[in-house]
């Protein structure tokens, strides 16, 4: 086992001094050192998507990303995206649609949906399903989640037209 090193990570736009060994994942650093618990530890094998964060603007599984490999990247967690208008539209649409029950998958779903709407403001149902395909929900099925993402996209388009 390697000895932890002091490194600086950019998390949610803030330089964060952390300690990480060669086997420490970004998820472990985010949750256990920075206490940003919105990013969930689900399967810890990259399957469920509960730990999804953005790395340089693209969704990644933080349970599969080594912290040391993230030194020169911008990492955004669910906490860092909450004030963004796209995330606010998504959160409101999830609430209005009843798109979650236990909420465990919700942060990963929202981060993945955020990425989709940043790239595509007019997604089809198939686009949404594709973007969320790596995120598992064990409670609701996906119908209301897809509807919520489509509703958020429509809201964002309406706001641009106004």
Q: What is the pLDDT of residues 46-101, one digit of tens each?
A: 999 999 999 999 999 999 999 999 999 999 999 999 999 999 999 999 999 999 88
CA atoms of 162 and 156, how far apart (whole Å): 10
CATH number corresponding to 82-161: 1.10.150.120
CB atoms within 10 A of CB 37: 14
**Exposure string for 117-140, b = 16+ CB within 10 A, e = fewer:** beeeeebeeebbeebbeebbbeeb
- Quick one: CA dihedral 131, 31, 80, 26, positive or negative? negative
- The structure's pTM equals 0.94
Q: Where are the beta strands (DSSP E) in 12-152?
A: 14-20, 52-55, 58-61, 74-76
Which residues, including other chains, have CB under 8 Å from residue 125's CB and lie 6 or more apart? 146, 150
Please state the separation of Cα 91 from the chain's center in Å. Answer: 12
160: pLDDT strictly greater than 80: no
Q: Could you state, in order of their start, the residue ranges of all structural domains in the chain? A: 5-80, 82-161
- The CATH number of 5-80 is 3.10.20.30
């Amino acid at each position: 086992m390697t000895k932890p090193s002091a490194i600086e990570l950019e998390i949610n736009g803030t330089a964060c001094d952390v300690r990480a060994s060669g086997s420490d994942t970004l998820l472990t650093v985010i949750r256990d050192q920075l206490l940003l618990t919105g990013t969930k530890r689900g399967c810890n094998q990259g399957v469920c998507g509960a730990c999804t964060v953005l790395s340089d603007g693209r969704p990644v599984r933080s349970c599969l990303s080594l912290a040391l490999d993230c030194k020169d990247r911008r990492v955004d967690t669910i906490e860092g995206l909450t004030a963004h208008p796209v995330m606010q539209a998504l959160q409101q649409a999830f609430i209005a649609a009843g798109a979650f029950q236990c909420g465990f998958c919700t942060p990963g779903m929202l981060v993945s949906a955020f990425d989709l709407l940043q790239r595509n403001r007019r997604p089809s149902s198939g686009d949404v399903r594709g973007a969320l395909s790596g995120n598992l929900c064990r409670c609701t099925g996906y119908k209301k989640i897809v509807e919520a993402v489509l509703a958020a996209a429509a809201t964002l388009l309406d706001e641009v037209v106004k």
